[in-house]
Structure 1
């Protein structure tokens, strides 16, 4: 089992602002299988510029963290379901079909955030992921989202109205 983050294994050329390994202006979220082997974890310490209210993390940043980490959780489960390493080809890609976030408590700035996510139910073309966000030991948000397995070669063309 590799100790490299899932992002660096499966998509080292990734440019996503939240989790892209090659986006040097982005957050560069790094997701790993947890020691329990059942969930995927990531840690992030928000920069002060991601402040919402004074001393609190901006909710949009929380949404981005939950979105990217949950998507990587869905892809990690697909690789595992197919008994494949994350760096194997063809690459598995998912996109967000529905992003749901419940903000439970304010998330304080200056505290390391931990994301813990897992697939709820069966892994399929559409996969439901639950993601908990902790500030230290305090649960502050829970994501309940749906990710769809896709062929990324057609995504940009479709989005720009071009034939793929």
Structure 2
């Protein structure tokens, strides 16, 4: 249901994180309505990309640490405990944005991820996400 990464949110961004070597990657292309100043991406969208890629990266790391394939049961889902974003330059609209994540701390219930958001080869924003494992009783069950 999450706006950023939820597959069940028909209006969402559908962010998908994957391993790319020792880093994680997620790529989205902002739509024309994701604008702030004409021609540039709204900062909230960049924060959403960092947020959801951070929790997605945390889940990938937890599955890897457990020796499991992503998506296998029981689900390992993470939520954001802390989100920090530094906006470095205006982010152009109409070009794919690549979020590249690095795991900087990994514990069973907490993962810290640093993320660079790239557009046309330029780093437009940097972020840091502290993600915590959701308790199993909070994870919705498929019906």
TM-score by length of 1: 0.80
> 1:99 — aligned with what?
83
Larger Rg: 1
Structure 2 residue runs of 5 or longer lacking an equivalent are: none
Of 59, 63, 68, the residue aligned with 1:84 is 68
Q: Which runs of 4+ in 1 moved over 6 A?
A: none
Let me know the Cα RMSD of the aligned residues. Answer: 1.5
Secondary structure at the aligned position of 1:27 is classed as: coil
Q: In structure 1, list runs of 5 or more residues that go unmatched.
A: 1-14, 157-164
Tell me the residue number matched to 1:49.
33
Separation of aligned partners in 2, 1:52 and 1:123: 37
Distance 1:83 1:42 in 2: 22
TM-score, normalised to structure 2's length? 0.92
CA distance in 2, matches of 1:30, 1:87: 12
Distance (whole Å) between structure 1 residues aligned to residue 18 and residue 29 of structure 2: 16
Structure having the higher helix fraction is: 1
Report the more deviating stretch, 119-128 or 82-91. 119-128
Per-residue CA deviation, residues 36-67 of structure 1 (Å, 9 max, x unaligned), is 2x111111110010101121100000000110
Question: 1:123, CA displacement in angstroms?
Answer: 3.2
Question: How many residues are paired up?
Answer: 140
Q: Which has the higher strand share?
A: 2
